[in-house]
Amino acid sequence: MKKSDIPQDESALKGWTREVFYAKNDDGKYEAGLSTGWSVKKDALDGAWDEVNKNVEDARQQVVAGKLSPIYYYMELRLMDVGVLAQYVGFWKWRVKRHFNPTIFKKLSDDVLQKYADVFEIDVEQLKNFK
């Protein structure tokens, strides 16, 4: 690739940084250049976010329908899986999974809820009163 062909498409890098890209200069020698982004990459990243947003919306509906607890919703919203969430709150995975059950969730102490709230960076109230 020639330095003049380094893609300069609009992307999520906008307003933050440009990325380094190695390409050939006019003398045919490699040199570092800068790129504002590439549409092919942008589309892949946008696709990944569409999937995240879909999962979050699915989770929200399941919580509203009373099938899963708000902990599940916030886990999805924060892009976590059970393994990551369990490490952050410091519980075993099976215990976190139990807390997805709305009946068990309702009986959780404020201390336990506070741990989740801290990890999700929200108030306990937002867990208790899911909108």
Residue list 39-58, contact with other proteins (CB under 8 A): 40-41, 43-45, 47-49, 51
Q: How many residues bind other proteins (CB under 8 A)?
A: 34
Query: Phi, psi at residue 65, to the nearest 5°?
Result: -75, 0
119, 90 Cβ separation under 8 angstroms: no
Q: Is 64 in the site for other proteins (CB under 8 A)?
A: no
Beta carbon nearer to other proteins, 32 or 104 = 32
Report yes or no: 89 and 96 within 8 Å, Cβ to Cβ: yes
Is residue 80 part of the contact set for other proteins (CB under 8 A)?
A: yes
Of 74, 51, 83, nearest to 131 by C-alpha is 74
Which phi and psi angles does 66 have, rounded to 5°? 80, 15
Residues that bind other proteins (CB under 8 A): 1, 12-13, 15-24, 29-30, 32, 34, 38, 40-41, 43-45, 47-49, 51, 78-80, 83-84, 87-88
